[in-house]
Copies of this chain bind each other. A is one copy, B any other.
Amino acid sequence: MRIVVDAMGSDNFPEPDVHGAVLAAQESPQDDIILVGNQTLISSTLQHIQSIPKNIQIVHAEDAIAMADKPAVVGKEKPQSSMHIGLNLVKEGKADAFVTAGNTGAVYAIAMLFSLRRIPNVKRPALTIIFKFNNKPVILLDVGANAESKAEWLAQYAIMGNIYAKYALGLSSPKVGLMSNGEEDSKGTQEIQEASRLIAQLPLNFVGNIEPRDVYNGAVDVVVSDGFTGNIMIKTFESSTRYIVETIRKELRSSWLTSIGALLARPAFRRVREKINPDEVGGAPLLGVNGVVIVGHGSSDKISIKNAIRQARLAFEGNVVGHITQEMQLSAIEEAQ
């Protein structure tokens, strides 16, 4: 397997990106890791590493995309960006997957409009996030690729999410739910209600409308949501978690007795942190584009980058793109009949 890693992606690039790539290369010596970005910068970062794995390569890119760059213009204005060049390596068959912790909107726009483009019949690629709750993966899509929502897009998200859960995560019959403001069929916007009817006709294990609690309690494996709501949902999760953890920290520090308690309880808190940390999974697959693309969090450290690369491996090994291509063709034929 040949995996391209954007060396210029994360907020603190190139350190986490390069070091994460090295860790991944050490973990899987049979794979090739191709770092794409500024050659000088990458080389000088690699110099600090004792023994550079042989399966690390560098492809130079003149330009890089910043977090502040506007996704709508970067495809045209920065054709020599590490993202653009990296995605094209996959498009041209010179690599099997692309991993970046960079500007999500930019990778979406470049992949969809300039490089890999969509898998035939896919209306809108979706950004996916994989959480782990109680050691069980839950995948949510769309978490922000498309602010608008149409019933048909949501049905396609269900197809793609189901395939990812099955072939990349290895679940035998993933339970698929549709995020709504209540479990009853009558709940949701008209678009959501229509999507529910469409998904119910698909050959997958659809459990119907779900609510946020079902994301945490193991009731579903795949959460289908419109991108506007999905994006706000994961940000609510992130910021409420941060708020609660900060409130706990503040209160624990407010007296010497509770401070001692906190000290003794430290191992437990460390395990909690590991459990609620989305970086464990490391990357969010962009599903529906014609190639494996994994997008990591901007704040990724080297471990998250390594995990994102592992996610790319799972997606490639599971032939997720092939399965989506096939399913979309089948459902397009059915629709035409």
Contacts and interface: CB of A to CB of B under 8 A. Distances in A.
15 contacts: A147-B187, A181-B231, A188-B228, A211-B239, A212-B232, A213-B238, A243-B276, A244-B244, A248-B268, A252-B268, A255-B267, A257-B264, A258-B267, A261-B268, A264-B264
A40 interface: no
Q: Name the interface size band of chain A.
A: 35 or more
A251 interface: yes
Interface of A: 133, 144, 147-149, 179-182, 187-190, 192, 211-213, 215-217, 227-229, 231-233, 235-245, 247-248, 251-252, 254-255, 257-258, 260-269, 271-272, 275-276
A138 B203 CA distance: 44
A212 B228 contact: no
Contacts of A180: 228, 232
Nearest to A274: B251
Contacts of A217: 239
Nearest to A262: B265
Given A147-B187, A237-B240, A261 B251 contact: no
A232 B235 contact: no
Contacts of A238: 212-213
Contacts of A267: 255, 257-258
